[in-house]
Amino acid sequence: MLNIVTYPDPSLRKPCEEVTSFDEDLKALASEMARAMYKYDGIGLAAPQVGIRKRIITVDVGKGLLKLINPRILEIGGEEEEMDEGCLSLPGVFVPVRRKIGLVRFEAYDINGKPKEWKASGLLARVIQHEVDHLDGVLMIDRTHKPIEGEAKERIKALEEEYARLS
């Protein structure tokens, strides 16, 4: 089972590389990522969260599993919504993030290297943006428009202290 990399591990801040080879290793990794995502009750997971700096994400918002390779957002538009987001790399932290979720158009390769263009709205549109952010080293705590305080702030401090203790 893959381990989840947690904040503030600096590897979460590095941009990921494009996948160039759609081989058996990629299939195995994407399956392991999906397994980890379900085990930890996530609805999305990006490869850097399991220590792999490649542009791979898995998503399941209740409409089936997507394994997306080299996802690229083409358009973000429509209505804006504020929602508390969580992240497997920031366990116990929830922060409000305002995102446009009316229509997100993105392209990605499937696990076999076949390109496809997608349209998403609602929760899927949000999760895609959250996960693609991970591939660029961006975390939801960078996206929140409100000062982080209270429980979220305490939890972030605890994660930082834990990381300092273990490293």
Contacting residues toward Ni ion, per CB under 5 A: 87
Which residue from 61, 58, 46, 41 is spatially nearest to 16, judged by alpha carbons? 46
- Nearest approach in angstroms of CB 89 to Ni ion is 5
Choose between 8 and 113: whose C-beta lies nearer to Ni ion: 8
79 catalytically annotated: no
Choose between 29 and 131: whose C-beta lies nearer to Ni ion: 131
Q: Which residue is nearest to Ni ion (CB)?
A: 87
Distance CA 26, CA 5 (A): 19
- Nearest approach in angstroms of CB 47 to Ni ion is 12
CB atoms within 10 A of CB 151: 11
- CA 88 vs CA 7, 8, 37, 58, 105: distances in Å: 9, 12, 8, 13, 25
Choose between 39 and 114: whose C-beta lies nearer to Ni ion: 39
The H or E element containing residue 34 is: helix 24-39
Q: Which of 85, 131, 149, 162 is catalytic?
A: 131
- Nearest approach in angstroms of CB 120 to Ni ion is 17
Catalytically active residues are 131
